[in-house]
Amino acid sequence: MYNLNHTSIKFVPQNILVVDDEQQVCEFLAEALTFLGHSVVTAGNGQEALEKLDKETFSLVIADMDMPVMDGMELIRNIVSGNSRTPDIIAITGHSMRYRYTDVVAAGAVDFITKPFTLNELEAKVNRIVRERQMRIELERLAVRDPLTGLYNRRFFQKVVHREAIRSVRYRTSLFMLYLDVDYFKEYNDQHGHNAGDALLIRFGELLNASIRNGVDTAFRFGGDEFTVLLTSLGSGDDPGLEQAMMVAERIRENYNKLCQSPTTLSIGLSIFTKGDGEIQEDIDRMTHQADLALYHVKNELHGDNIHFFQQQESG
């Protein structure tokens, strides 16, 4: 489904910090990198570079190894140890024998370039680093996304629900889970073919994202025709926001039915996170199980196309 060849990685301008005690070198690098389409900030030594890194985010640092105040090796170690989002680092030196490539890489740099160097050599190294970073970002994205719908996958659900459960306890806000299943999806596939079935799931994924709060709630594809949604911070205390959660569920169901994809309809089970006396994962598992039970009730007792909220007094 996905293409990760080099031609699929688009050029992305970088914010680059150039560090060198020779002003002419800084000016040359800044001019060359700006010509290549990047944004450039310069610093005259390692200490000045760290100060600028504290104030601004850079994706790439190009640093000379021989500098006063703080040399390049110490700068690299400081960047790697003190920055939660460490930029890639290229080390520059006119004394290649003093600093071994392996030592520089071990300290945290991703590449090494020796003075004098050409613009072509610099461009090739920067482009390779940028391309590899973009590929890493894409691989990280693919690892948490469902390849068909683009929604987050079941594995990422475990990470998000754990984070949101902790937040729910800490801030005493509500956390609801919707468990959604497309009724008669097998029959739809049999009638229209698997390509049409895939297209329907893609449209449903888009519908889910359009029906929830961007950046607040999260939709996932669990697999097949099963989906989940986490609704956060709808209420707190005596009013956890059940009415709002039911409204969201009903909006999703109504919007799905407007797609007019007969014979399919939508069943939704709803549960709420509650903190018990045990580990928080036990509470998460209970919420997930209760949403599953609520969905089962809709499909088997209400014959689909409905919503059911799991009441705490229900058995199972």
| Residue 251 pLDDT | 96
Instruction: For the beta carbon of residue 261, count every other beta carbon within 10 angstroms.
Output: 21
Predicted TM-score (pTM) of this structure: 0.65
| Residue 110 pLDDT | 92
Active site residue 238: no
| Residue 96 pLDDT | 54
| Residue 84 pLDDT | 56
| Residue 6 pLDDT | 45
pLDDT one digit per residue (tens) for the chain, 316 residues: 444 444 455 678 999 999 999 999 899 999 999 999 999 999 999 999 999 999 999 999 999 998 888 989 999 999 988 755 689 999 998 755 577 788 888 888 999 888 888 889 999 999 999 888 888 888 887 889 999 999 999 999 999 999 999 999 999 999 999 999 999 999 999 999 999 999 999 999 999 999 999 989 999 999 899 999 999 988 877 788 999 999 999 999 999 999 999 999 999 999 999 999 999 999 999 999 999 999 999 999 999 999 999 986 665 4
Contact 240, 218 (CB under 8 A): no
Q: Which of 71, 217, 225, 283 is catalytic?
A: 225
| Residue 2 pLDDT | 44
